[in-house]
Amino acid sequence: MRVFSGRSAAAALATSAAIAGTCGPVPAFGADTGGRPDSSTETDPYAVPAAPRPPTLPELTHSETEGTLEATAGAILPNTGGGFTHAYAQRLSVEVPVGLRRWYVGAEYELATGDGRVVSGNLALGGRTLWATRTGLAFGGGLSLIVPTAVFDTQGPAASTALAAATLRPWDVSFFTPSAFGARPFVDVRAIDGKFVAQFRQSLDVLDTGGRLALYATVGVYLGLWATHEIAAGIEAFEAYAISVDNVDDGKRATVVISPNVRLVLPWVEPAISAFTNIGTPLQGASDRIWGFRLAFTVVYDPSRALGVRTKASDDSPPAAPPGTMVPTGSVR
């Protein structure tokens, strides 16, 4: 299977492991207390350091229920030249932690719009699990089932709208494949070193499109850095590779999209903006070049809190000392 030329996937895994293997306990900067006072780390084995949240890839060890609304808008230059066409895709995802961040269940849905049409994409229902250490290393995997909620004529105008949306998000081409039922197994790796995070996901989409089997391999990589306590900057890169798809030449099977981004972290919402463009051939050679923007709003909700949202005041305050205890001046958390 070719994914980032095969060797890049292995290199990403090795790099993540090397980063985590060289770092000891992580400083208190951005320490994730899961929306609870610091004393909760004594009972939560996955109270890992807080990492910048990727705009598209999931945050692997979040303790709150989270929902993300991600809008993708871009321009597409046809192979035949001439003027640009424009496309828009909307992604909605919800994920809920189960059992101290060891298990998660969630759902994703996408739709496409263009030329006055709205085209439904497919629905994905899935779950994942992971193992993590307090130094910031995390490994996991899961499975999503793709439900065929995208139903349209492959030769009609709706197909053109869906193809344009998939061109902007080639790693999600399965969401815009009509009448497709399938599965998406995946693996996740993440390493945190102080203010820096490296995250990796590899997945395989297996689709039954009515008697025909389609296979897509995808890889997503995120490199992020805390610029301040509330702002994170990073870059995401995705490759989608058509392993077994009809009418796709060998030289047009791989599609790579890069996306620098910035995220703002607030107590109850974490907005992010990204710019993106392709490197090499866009999706299956259907166009010459793409570029655009992605805007994501992630809402975090913790039902165990009175207001249902995280408050930085409690997260960042050290636990109160017992009465009569002398606290040394200049002590460090």
Structural contact between residues 97 and 116, judged by C-beta atoms closer than 8 angstroms = no
**Which residue(s) pair with 16 in the sheet?**
none
24 by Cβ neighbours in 10 Å (0-12 / 13-18 / 19+) ranks as exposed
Q: Whole-prediction pTM value?
A: 0.78
* Residue 45 within any structural domain of the chain: yes
Cβ contacts of 236 within 8 Å, gap of 6 or more: 54, 55, 56, 57, 220, 221, 222, 258, 259, 261, 274
Q: Give the dihedral of Cα atoms 65, 296, 28, 44; nearest 10 deg.
A: 20
What is the average pLDDT value for the chain, to the nearest integer?
A: 82
Q: Which two tokens stand for residue 288?
A: 């010459």
333 lies in a domain? no
Alpha carbon distance 104, 14 (integer Å): 25
Three-class SS of residue 13? Answer: helix
100 inside domain: yes
| Residue 94's pLDDT band (cuts 50, 70, 90) | very high
Total structural domains in the chain? 1
pLDDT at site 246: 83
The pLDDT value recorded for residue 1 is: 42
Instruction: Please check whether residue 322 lies inside any domain of the structure.
Output: no
Cα separation, 254 vs 246, in Å, equals 14
Q: Is the pLDDT of residue 39 over 80?
A: no
Domain that holds residue 220: 7-316
Rounded to whole angstroms, the Cα distance separating 181 from 146 reads 6
CATH code at 264? 2.40.160.40
- Per-residue confidence (pLDDT) for residue 331, from 0 to 100: 37
* Residue of 102 and 148 predicted with greater confidence: 148
The residues, ordered by sequence, that sit 6+ positions from 81 with a Cβ below 8 Å of its Cβ are 288
